[in-house]
Amino acid sequence: MKTQTHHNQTFRSVPAHSKPLDKTRLEKLFQQQIDLYKSNLRSSSSEYLTALKTIPLGAHSTFQSFDPYPISIKSAKGAWMVDVDGRKMLDLSMGFGSMLVGHLNPEVMAELKSTLDVGTLYTAPSPDSRDAAERLCRRFGIDQIRFTNSGTESTMYAVRTARAYTGKEGVVKVEGGYHGSGDALLVSNKPPLDKAGPADAPVPVIGNAVVPGLSYVVPYNNIEALEAVFQKHSDKIACFIVEPVLE
């Protein structure tokens, strides 16, 4: 398999043939976009300032928070969302895939409404959860399945299972990959270049107050680097986790 051979220029330094950027012009263009953003999203600004009083960073997930403030959504239907400023926007994320059939899909809404007639939260097994598990197992060829409330929980349980089964602690992940906020995988998500190490053998960069255990980091799309890690540390590796498409 042929993999990238230009990681140093791509990820660690400016290529020699690249022309220097005009930082003054770049800062001016950036500020123009920020000013335009603020002028179009005044209600989102107000919503954000109000939310800050009761919600850390004004959002329930850190990835939803960004400068100068996030866009606040009041409704959605089909492939479109409407923000609190009344702007209609095409949703290219669709809940990271969970809403691929569209917001307020009639068939989904009908099932949800019928479910509300018989209960909302059981915290116990039910025929509906068993039926959903059976359908997913048949469709994707899965042996067994257990539902969780978040991707963080799913990957956390996966790592814990791998460690218990193998009796090993090491986790191999791709530099820049995101797999939730569990400690075992909160490593080198967006590492500073001065700490990341060489491109073909990244150094695990661990955030404050994170206790991941034994971690190994490899560059994306570099099978040789991955094989080298396995050859060197196979007696310590419990699992390897990777995003099919790096975010």
Residue 13 has pLDDT above 90, yes or no: no
HEC-encoded secondary structure of the chain: CCCCCCHHHHHHCCCCCCCCCCHHHHHHHHHHHHHHHHHHCHHHHHHHHHHCCCCHHHCCCHHHCCCCCCCCEEEEEECEEEECCCCEEECCCCHHHCCCCCECCHHHHHHHHHHHCCCCCCCCCCHHHHHHHHHHHHHHCCCCCCCCCCHHHHHHHHHHHHHHHHCCCEEEEECCCCCCCCHHHCECCCCCCCCCCCCCCCCCCECCCCCCCCEEEECCCCHHHHHHHHHHHCCCEEEEECCCCCC
Residue 43 located in a structural domain: yes
Indicate the average pLDDT of the chain: 91
What residue numbers bound the domain in which 174 lies?
Answer: 151-241
CATH of the domain at 174: 3.40.640.10
Residue 2 located in a structural domain: no
- What integer is the mean pLDDT of 227-243? 96
Residue 219 has pLDDT above 90, yes or no: yes
* Predicted local confidence at residue 77, as pLDDT: 98
* Predicted local confidence at residue 11, as pLDDT: 55
The percent of residues in the chain predicted with pLDDT above 90, rounded, is 79
Residue 176 located in a structural domain: yes
Residue 60 has pLDDT above 60, yes or no: yes
pLDDT band at 199 (very low <50, low <70, confident <90, very high): confident
Structural domain count, the chain: 2
* Predicted local confidence at residue 9, as pLDDT: 41
Residue 37 located in a structural domain: yes
Residue 17 located in a structural domain: no
Domain ends where: 52, 71, 90? 71
Model pTM? Answer: 0.80
